[in-house]
C-alpha cells in the first residue's frame, strides 16, 4: 500500500464501516446462506492487490491477505468520500474495479477467515482516496499542533505539551474526549500507517505529540479530534563508525557517553547543514546578531522578523512568517523573529550516507525511533555540519526541535511543518 494512500486508511475504513442503508437483497442473501448451514457473513476492508477475473486479493488494513471471490449477483457500489449512506452510492461493474482501490467486501466467509464469497463490494476509488488524502493533509496543516509532552492528567483527559523556542517555553493544554482518536507510533517504525490504536495511559512525559482539532482564542488550550504520539530518542554525539553498505551509523552520545547504533533507511532524511546557515544559527543562539538583523529576533516592530497575527500554524504549532524573515537561513520564523529550524531543514536538499562522507569524530544530531530490544532504532532525521551550533549552545537540540512528522505518511505528509 503506498504511503500517501495509507495515510487515509483509517478515514476510509471508518467511512466504509459506518455506511448504512444496505439493501434487503443483501440481508436476504445472508439469511439464505446461514439457513443453508454455510459460513456466516464476513467482511473485510482493505486495498485491492490483484484482480483475476472475479477473483481479488485484498490487503486488509490489518491482518493477512484475503481472497475475495465476487459472486455473479454481487452488488458493487462506489461510496463517495465522507458519505455514510449507501443511498447516495453509484453502481459499478466488476470491470470498473482497479488495483489500488479501497473496498469493503461482504459475504459468506471461510472458517479460517482467509476468503470471502462477496455478495457486496463497496468501493472508494483511487482518485477519491487521493482527494481525501489531500483534504486530510490540509486539515492537519490548518488545524494541527505539536510539541513535547510534559504532563498527562488521565482524570481530566488532558495532555500538556511544551513548545520550546528562542523566545522561551510555551505550554498548551490538549483536551481529549470519548471520541478522540489516539494512535501511537510503533517503536521500530517511522511510518504513520504503522501507528497503532492507543490510549491516554500510553502517553508519557517526553513523548512527541501531534494533534488535530480546534485551539482556543488565546492558543493556550486545544480540543483534539485526533492524536498521534511516539517516543523518539534525540542523539547528539560524534561519529564512531559508518557502514554505508549495511546502512548503519555508530555514534558516541555526548550525554550518556554510550555508543548508539542507528539504522539508516530510504525513508530517513539526511541533511548537511551549510556552514553559513550553521554559523548564523549559532550566532542567534549566542545572541550575537545585531538588533534589526533579519532572523535575530530583535527586528523592529512591524518588520518581517516580527510575528504576524493570523499567520498559518507551522512547526510545533508556531507561526510561519510571510517572506524570508531569516536573513537567508531558509525562511520561516517562530514568534519574536526566531528562525524555525524545522522549516529551514525542509528547504535543504536530501543526502545519502555516501553524500555526507561522515568521518570519525564528526558531530551529528539524530532523531530516531526507539527501536526494540533486538533492533536498533531507525534514523528519522540525521544532520551533519552541526559543530558551530553545538559549540554555541550544548542545549541547542532543544532549539532545533526536530519533529518526526515529516516521514512515512505522517499526518502533515510533508516537510515537518506540523
Q: What is the mean pLDDT of residues 371-395?
A: 81
Q: What is the mean pLDDT of residues 205-230?
A: 92
Which residue, 102, 20, 98, 100, is CA-closest to 61?
102
**Three cell numbers written together for 212:** 488535530
Query: Tens of pLDDT along 134-151?
Result: 777 788 888 988 888 999
pLDDT given for residue 303 in this prediction? 29
Looking at residue 48, the DSSP 8-state letter turns out to be: E
pLDDT given for residue 307 in this prediction? 28
96-110, 200-214, 318-332, 391-405: which has the minimum mean pLDDT?
318-332
DSSP state letters, 89-110: -EE--GGG--TT-EEEEEEEB-
pLDDT given for residue 401 in this prediction? 61
pLDDT given for residue 293 in this prediction? 43
The pTM of this model reads: 0.58
- Of 189 and 42, the structure prediction assigns the larger pLDDT to 42
Fold topology of 142-230: OB fold (Dihydrolipoamide Acetyltransferase, E2P) (2.40.50)
For the chain, give the percent of residues with pLDDT over 70: 66
**Is the CB of residue 284 less than 8 Å from the CB of residue 294?**
no
Q: Taking the C-alpha atoms of 218, 224, 226 and 227 in order, what is their torsion angle to the nearest 10 degrees?
A: 80
Q: Residue 352: is its pLDDT beyond 70?
A: yes
Sign of the CA dihedral with 199 first, then 417, 253, and 206 last:
negative
3-state DSSP helix/strand/coil % of the chain, to nearest 5: 25, 35, 40
Q: What is the mean pLDDT of residues 314-340?
A: 35
**Three cell numbers written together for 319:** 507561526
The Cα 184–Cα 197 span in angstroms is 6
156-165, 174-183, 191-200, 285-294: which has the minimum mean pLDDT?
285-294
- Best-predicted range by mean pLDDT (53-62, 212-221, 393-402): 212-221
Confidence at 25, pLDDT banded by 50, 70, 90? very low
pLDDT given for residue 140 in this prediction? 84
29-33, 111-115, 408-412: which has the minimum mean pLDDT?
29-33
- Of 394 and 304, the structure prediction assigns the larger pLDDT to 394
Coil, helix or strand at residue 20: strand
The Cα 18–Cα 287 span in angstroms is 55
Which residue, 196, 212, 207, 199, is CA-closest to 230?
207
3-124 and 142-230 have identical folds:
yes
- Of 126 and 105, the structure prediction assigns the larger pLDDT to 105
Q: Residue 11: is its pLDDT beyond 60?
A: no
Q: What is the mean pLDDT of residues 320-344?
A: 42
First to last CA, the chain: 24
**Spans of all domains in the chain:** 3-124, 142-230, 234-406
Q: Residue 43: is its pLDDT beyond 50?
A: yes
The Cα 409–Cα 71 span in angstroms is 35
Q: Can you list the pairs that 139-142 forms with residues at least 24 positions away whose Cβ atoms lie under 8 Å?
A: 139/212, 140/210, 140/212, 140/411, 140/412, 140/413, 140/418, 141/312, 141/313, 141/412, 141/417, 141/418, 142/312, 142/313
Confidence at 196, pLDDT banded by 50, 70, 90? confident
Confidence at 280, pLDDT banded by 50, 70, 90? confident
Which residue, 177, 148, 169, is CA-closest to 160?
148
Q: The domain at 3-124 falls in which architecture?
A: Beta Barrel (2.40)
Q: Residue 36: is its pLDDT beyond 60?
A: no
6-20, 111-125, 166-180, 391-405: which has the minimum mean pLDDT?
6-20
Q: Residue 304: is its pLDDT beyond 60?
A: no
pLDDT given for residue 199 in this prediction? 93
Q: What is the mean pLDDT of residues 377-385?
A: 89
**Is the CB of residue 124 less than 8 Å from the CB of residue 293?**
no
263 DSSP β-pair partners: 248, 378
pLDDT given for residue 19 in this prediction? 45
> What is the CB neighbour count within 10 angstroms for residue 326?
26
DSSP state letters, 228-268: EEE---EEEEEEEEEETTTTEEEEEETTT--EEEEE--TT-
CA distances from 29 to 18, 38, 61 (A): 21, 12, 26
Sign of the CA dihedral with 124 first, then 129, 131, and 137 last:
positive
Pairing of strands 115-124, 144-153: unpaired
Question: pLDDT averaged over the chain?
Answer: 74
Backbone angles phi, psi at 119, to 5 degrees: -100, -15
Amino acid at each position: 500500500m503506498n504511503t500517501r494512500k495509507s495515510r487515509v486508511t483509517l478515514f476510509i475504513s471508518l467511512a466504509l464501516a459506518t455506511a448504512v442503508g444496505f439493501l434487503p437483497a443483501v440481508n436476504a442473501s445472508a439469511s439464505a446462506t446461514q439457513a443453508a448451514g454455510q459460513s456466516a457473513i464476513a467482511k473485510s476492508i482493505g486495498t485491492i492487490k490483484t484482480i483475476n477475473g472475479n477473483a481479488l486479493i485484498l490487503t486488509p488494513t490489518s491482518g493477512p491477505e484475503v481472497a475475495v471471490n465476487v459472486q455473479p449477483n454481487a452488488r458493487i457500489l462506489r461510496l463517495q468520500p465522507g458519505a455514510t449512506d449507501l443511498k447516495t452510492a453509484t453502481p459499478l461493474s466488476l470491470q470498473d474495479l482497479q488495483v489500488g482501490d479501497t473496498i469493503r467486501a461482504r459475504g459468506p466467509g471461510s472458517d479460517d477467515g482467509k476468503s470471502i464469497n462477496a455478495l457486496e463490494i463497496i468501493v472508494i476509488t483511487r482518485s477519491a482516496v487521493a482527494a481525501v488524502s489531500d483534504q486530510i493533509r490540509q486539515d492537519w496543516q490548518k488545524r494541527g499542533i505539536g510539541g513535547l509532552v510534559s504532563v498527562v492528567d488521565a482524570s481530566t483527559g488532558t495532555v500538556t505539551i511544551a513548545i520550546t523556542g528562542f523566545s522561551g517555553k510555551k505550554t498548551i493544554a490538549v483536551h481529549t474526549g470519548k471520541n478522540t482518536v489516539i494512535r501511537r507510533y510503533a517503536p521500530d517504525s517511522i511510518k504513520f500507517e504503522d501507528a497503532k490504536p492507543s490510549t491516554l495511559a500510553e502517553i508519557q512525559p517526553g513523548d512527541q505529540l501531534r494533534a488535530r482539532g480546534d485551539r482556543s482564542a488565546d492558543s493556550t488550550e486545544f480540543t483534539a479530534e485526533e492524536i498521534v504520539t511516539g517516543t523518539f530518542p534525540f542523539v547528539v554525539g560524534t561519529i564512531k563508525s559508518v557502514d554505508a553498505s549495511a546502512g548503519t551509523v555508530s555514534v558516541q552520545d555526548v550525554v550518556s557517553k554510550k555508543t548508539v547504533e542507528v539504522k539508516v533507511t530510504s525513508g530517513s532524511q539526511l541533511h548537511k547543514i551549510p556552514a553559513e546557515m550553521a554559523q548564523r544559527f549559532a550566532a542567534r543562539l549566542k545572541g550575537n546578531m545585531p538588533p534589526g538583523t533579519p532572523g535575530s529576533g530583535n527586528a523592529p516592530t512591524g518588520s518581517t522578523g516580527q510575528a504576524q497575527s493570523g499567520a498559518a500554524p507551522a512547526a510545533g504549532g508556531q507561526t510561519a512568517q510571510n517572506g524570508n524573515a531569516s536573513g537567508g537561513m531558509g525562511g520561516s520564523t517562530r514568534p519574536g523573529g526566531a528562525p524555525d529550524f524545522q522549516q529551514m531543514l525542509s528547504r535543504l536538499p536530501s543526502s545519502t550516507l555516501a553524500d555526507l562522507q561522515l568521518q570519525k569524530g564528526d558531530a551529528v544530531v539524530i532523531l530516531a525511533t526507539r527501536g526494540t530490544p533486538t533492533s536498533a532504532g531507525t534514523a528519522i532525521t540525521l544532520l551533519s555540519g552541526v559543530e558551530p551550533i553545538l559549540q554555541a549552545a550544548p542545549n541547542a537540540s532543544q532549539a532545533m526541535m526536530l519533529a518526526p512528522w515529516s516521514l512515512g505518511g505522517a499526518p502533515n505528509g510533508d516537510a515537518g511543518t506540523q
